[in-house]
Structure 1
Amino acid sequence: MATIALAATTLRPLGDRVLVKVVEKEERTAGGILLPDTAKEKPQTGEVVAVGPGRVKDDGTRVSPEVKVGDTVLYGKYSGTDLKLGDTEYVLVAEKDILAVVA
């Protein structure tokens, strides 16, 4: 999936969307060899940096999101839209694609 590079400085998610800052970890083999970017799997954890107001139910009421800014979350491997703001990588995912909050 291609990464979308934006010139914006801020991003405000709408509805039940969540903006997650991708947590890159350095990957080494058991022998200490550093893996290149092409050999790494897509990260699935990140820190929530912005949360939308929540989804609207059929009766018009709004359901508040379960995650909040600052939470570390685990999200689906191929979910969301990859974004790049400056040098930082983010993923914009729907709240339903977040699998867990990491404690």
Structure 2
Amino acid sequence: MTEIRVKPLADRVLVEPAAAEEKTAGGLYIPDTAKEKPQKGKVVAVGPGKKDEPLTVKVGDNVLYGKYGGTELNIDGKDYLIMRESDIYAIV
């Protein structure tokens, strides 16, 4: 894994989204135009947290987040999302 040179600030978290599903359970291939945005991913960088609120997620955690949560970024050709920790629903 390459080192990420982005350091989120405050309570923000950098997440690498999981790959979108390629096939249905029945074996049908899903075209790119019909794929759902993934709602889970892996935390690759975290900020220091707020003064009175330390972060509960850490690098390497697999998380679930809202469908439209975060801001999309492209760093070194890879897609990431940066979001507040409050946009994360659960650690899985």
Shift of 1:98: 0.3
* Runs of 4+ more than 6 Å apart: none
Measured in 2, the distance between the counterparts of 1:78 and 1:26 equals 17
2:13 corresponds to:
18
Gaps in structure 2 of 5+ consecutive residues: none
Number of matched residues? 89
The normalised TM-score by structure 1 is 0.78
Shift of 1:34: 1.5
Measured in 1, the distance between the counterparts of 2:30 and 2:76 equals 24
Q: Which has the larger radius of gyration?
A: 1
* Kept after mapping to 1: 8 A contact 2:20/2:36: no
Q: What percent identity do the matched residue pairs reach? A: 56
Gaps in structure 1 of 5+ consecutive residues: 1-8, 57-61
Measured in 2, the distance between the counterparts of 1:30 and 1:79 equals 26
Cα deviation per residue 1:22-44 (whole Å; 9 max; x = unaligned)? 11043212442221221011111
1:4 corresponds to:
none
Measured in 1, the distance between the counterparts of 2:25 and 2:87 equals 31
Measured in 2, the distance between the counterparts of 1:79 and 1:26 equals 19
